[in-house]
Amino acid sequence: MSDTATRARADIGRYVNDALRDRYFAACDAVHALGAPARAEYDVETSFGTTHVYRYGPEEGTAAAGRAAGRTPVVLVHGAGGCAAMWYPNTPALAAERTVYALETPGDANRSVHRAPLHQPERAAQWLDESLAALGLDRVHLIGTSYGGWLTLNMAHRRPGRLASATLLDPGGLEKVGLRFFVWIFLSLFATAAPAALRPRLAAWLEQPVLVVPELRAMVRAGVRAHRIRRPAPKPLTDDELRTIRTPLHLVLGRRSLLLHPKRQAERVPRLVPGTRAVILERTGHGPQIDHADEVNARMIDYLDGVDDPAREGEGVPGRA
């Protein structure tokens, strides 16, 4: 497909122009700099476009790097409209003794190249499976947030063969996306233009950590100007579809989430997928891995260690629920 035809398709994400794209990439790089340093970057080809990937891990030649080589790697899948930089609060802890790959979903505002639609569930699972195969990853711990949570959950349902576990951070895919979530998104974007003195109060009211991290705020604002997403919201998995899942699940929800109803899903998912670990975090909404990074990191690491070695489960997480 020619570049002109790709740009003309209504279901292919696109940048408004090269200047805005480059300005956005610079903002992404500033956010990346807040987290762990990437050890490498890759571009891998799939049926749906080129997937850009960042690899993190301990410094080569260290004892931690030796331990990481023998452990199941982690793969991160970001939320809608964003890029891998959003994982900056999590990469230092996750990559301390594991290899971590952060994928950028084609169709979102990032360095991947979108050539064919992948929002349909089977195609989304195929894209993710092809990306993992191209990286040579046969077994991974998959972690997704928001739309990336739907991609992760969908993968556990449709193509679970490579998955050691799936961690879902306030994920899509469990309920139909309602009006209240879109209103929150609109208000959050509007609040990014508020005077600096008001942003902390707006951040607390909206449960929106983006407003109080200058680099993150700049990245979000630049992304909204530069990129146009072209896909519908995903349909939630049915009860019958959830019952098919055998991959170990870790469900982390924000008490004040507006994407879903936390209590409802904390009861529903473990009932349909036995063995699911579900927790609701207080004082947070849709971004628990950002505004409660230390706690979420500790919980994720504990869960990954417990899957890999059940004897270690529960270590280092006081009061784990």
pLDDT digits (tens, 9 = 90+) for 18-66: 999 999 999 999 999 999 999 999 999 999 999 999 999 998 889 988 8
**At 209, which amino acid appears?**
P
Q: Looking at residues 179-202, what average pLDDT do you find? A: 87
> Do the domain assignments include residue 316?
no
> Do the domain assignments include residue 25?
no
CATH of the domain at 93: 3.40.50.1820
> Do the domain assignments include residue 233?
yes
> Do the domain assignments include residue 223?
no
Give the residue numbers spanning the domain of 129: 3-14+37-176+228-308
pLDDT digits (tens, 9 = 90+) for 239-262: 999 999 999 999 999 999 999 999
Domain count, the chain: 1
> Do the domain assignments include residue 107?
yes
Instruction: Tell me the residue ranges of DSSP E strands in 140-287.
Output: 140-145, 163-169, 227-228, 249-254, 277-281
This prediction's pTM: 0.92
User: CA 213, CA 32: separation in Å to the nearest integer?
Assistant: 13
> Do the domain assignments include residue 104?
yes
> Do the domain assignments include residue 201?
no
- One-character DSSP codes across 64-94: HHHHHHTS--EEEE--TT--GGGGTTTHHHH
> Do the domain assignments include residue 247?
yes
